[in-house]
Amino acid sequence: METAAQAAARAKARDYLRTKGTETAAAVVADRVRGALAALEACLEAVPAERAAVRTLAGEWSVHEIADHLLETHRPLLDELRCLFAGHRPPGEPIPAGLQSKAALLRPWSGLLRDLKQQHQDIVTSLSAEPADFTTDARAPVVMVINVPGPNGRPVPYEWIEDLDWKAYAIVLRLHAVDHLNQAKKALAADHSR
């Protein structure tokens, strides 16, 4: 059963995705995604491999694990965007929220960054290639995760599946990149304070 806080969070998220995604010009959406991905890449590329692999916060991913998660989620995300651009609902289940490779820390850092950058270039190219007036009724299911106040007032994750049009979907990608950029910065700041 959905609580009042969860219902309010869901309504706020839907409103945000409608105004910042669905109702926004395609070029603006593509620019926002491009900017978020570029900021994320700049942060990750500044991290040496040995530092990236260190878990600096208990119960949190290392920067290396964050980058692995991004690569693992952005691969199927590009496929889903292509489905939407072709006017089709992506087949299968939505991309899991905590997706990682089986051995995230065994991936060489330089190769991980190279592959992630290429994936981001492909995403931006795909978004930028669509005509300004492109529309489709196709929707993709997305696992949405937002922190809401729990019973003791502390934030707890609230998760649901939302069907999104391609521009709202792209804005979720932007939010995902910004969220993990902030997570990486937090991990790096904790490393400096040790």
Residue 193's pLDDT band, with cuts at 50, 70 and 90, is low
Mean pLDDT of 181-185: 95
Of residues 35, 31, 33, 27, the one with CA closest to residue 132 = 27
159 vs 96: CA distance, rounded Å: 11
> Is the pTM here over 0.85, yes or no?
yes
What's the whole-number average pLDDT of the chain? 94
pLDDT digits (tens, 9 = 90+) for 132-177: 899 999 999 999 999 998 888 888 999 999 999 999 999 999 999 9
Mean pLDDT of 76-104: 95
170 vs 132: CA distance, rounded Å: 15
Residue 152 is predicted with a pLDDT of 85
Residue 94 is predicted with a pLDDT of 96
Residue 100 is predicted with a pLDDT of 93
Angle between helix 109-129 and 63-85 (nearest 10) = 30
pLDDT digits (tens, 9 = 90+) for 31-77: 999 999 999 999 999 999 999 999 988 888 999 999 999 999 999 99
Mean pLDDT of 84-96: 96
CATH class of 27-142+165-192: mainly alpha
Residue 190 is predicted with a pLDDT of 87
- Residue 130 and residue 80 in contact, taking contact as beta carbons nearer than 8 Å: no
The 3 state secondary structure assigned to 8-74 is HHHHHHHHHHHHHHHCCCHHHHHHHHHHHHHHHHHHHHCCCHHHHCCCCCCCCCCHHHHHHHHHHHH
Residue 192 is predicted with a pLDDT of 62
Is pLDDT of 93 > 70? yes
